[in-house]
Amino acid sequence: MKIEVRDLEKSWKEYTLTNDNGMQVNVLNFGGIITKMLVPDKAGNLENIVLGYADYKDYQTNPNYFGALIGPVAGRIANSQFTLDGQEYKLENNEGTHHLHGGSTGFHQVIWDVEPFEKVDAVGLVLSYNRDDGEGGYPGNVDVQVTYTLHQNNQFEISYTASTDKTTPLTLTNHSYFNLSGNLRHSLHEQHVSIDSDQFVELDEELIPTGELLPVDGSPFDFRSARPLGDGFNASTDQNRVAGKGIDHYFIFNENDKETKVTAADPVSGRKMTVQTDQPGMVMYTSNNLAEGLELQEGMSRQYLGVCFETQASPASLHHEGFPGVVLKPGEVYQTRTLFEFGVL
């Protein structure tokens, strides 16, 4: 187990976590961005399974949020406004008339304080950031800690902790794009995914939740049994169409005692990933709107090249009843974790 640090420009640093199996995770202090994740296939070959830029300077803008920590609120806030305790707050419009992923001053755009740690069976990083009251239009001084832990058994854990001195919306996630084929060898079409979810959230033409929950039964969004992702995003329903011929929807996890909420596998490489989380749901995004022509580490970008599993609560709860809430109050502690475990078929 080891940790290495490389100094880049603009006070940026890149941390490399490696376990004794050779699994490796690279992280920037800028945006908490995961730039690379090397995982063995069925033959033991270590290859990168996340999308990342060939030139780290491209993370400065990073419109696709590759690998980034997302906050204060992951997802879209309708009309860039919300009301808490009788007071209305207006946020930046950074996607049409709506507010996406914390805006231009979101957590993906800040330099985090990083404290590396080493244990007998794990190495990791504690990332800390103190958001000032009013920053980005959000209320409250908020202290945030995000811990990345690479375990010896090829588990990668992200745990989030936060507190505030004013009532404020908060739901954090990581925006890594996974492609288990390794080194972007194939698109997502034949990669198999299962999701422990009976319901997903209906979107309008601007990708804003309508307030309606739809049953997955009989739809392209039914991943209760593992199936190729292409079966889901190649469908021609209205919900696929509004998402840019794909999936960019919030799935509400079923309430049960299952720790594993998502599985993903690539039948060619044999890589398998399971996602365990205590979050109430997640956005699955199949990179429908990923533009062509971006220089990535293993080639050029194209549609359907990576899938995001954005475990989080739902910002739709700021405008609709019946959605997992995102409001954090003084005296409360925001605490959640998501664990990615890697193996082979």
- Listed in sequence order, the residues at least 6 apart from 154 whose beta carbon sits closer than 8 Å to its beta carbon are 19, 21, 23, 39, 40, 341, 342, 343
Q: Nearest-CA neighbor of 311 among 243, 245, 252, 239?
A: 252
Q: Nearest-CA neighbor of 33 among 101, 95, 105, 112?
A: 112
324 touches 193 (CB < 8 A)? no
- C-alpha 286/C-alpha 84 separation (Å) is 33
- C-alpha 134/C-alpha 92 separation (Å) is 12
Beta-bridge partners for 265: 192, 272
What is the phi-psi region of residue 86: left when phi exceeds 0, alpha when psi lies from -120 to 50, beta otherwise? Answer: left
- C-alpha 124/C-alpha 19 separation (Å) is 10
Name the catalytic one among 14, 47, 135, 310.
310
- C-alpha 300/C-alpha 294 separation (Å) is 5
Q: Nearest-CA neighbor of 137 among 171, 96, 106?
A: 106
- C-alpha 136/C-alpha 289 separation (Å) is 26
* DSSP tag of 338: E
- C-alpha 48/C-alpha 52 separation (Å) is 9
47 touches 38 (CB < 8 A)? yes
Q: Which residue type sits at 84?
A: L
Question: Has 310 been annotated as catalytic?
Answer: yes
Name the catalytic one among 98, 99, 175, 192.
175
108 touches 35 (CB < 8 A)? no
Q: Which residues are catalytic?
A: 175, 310
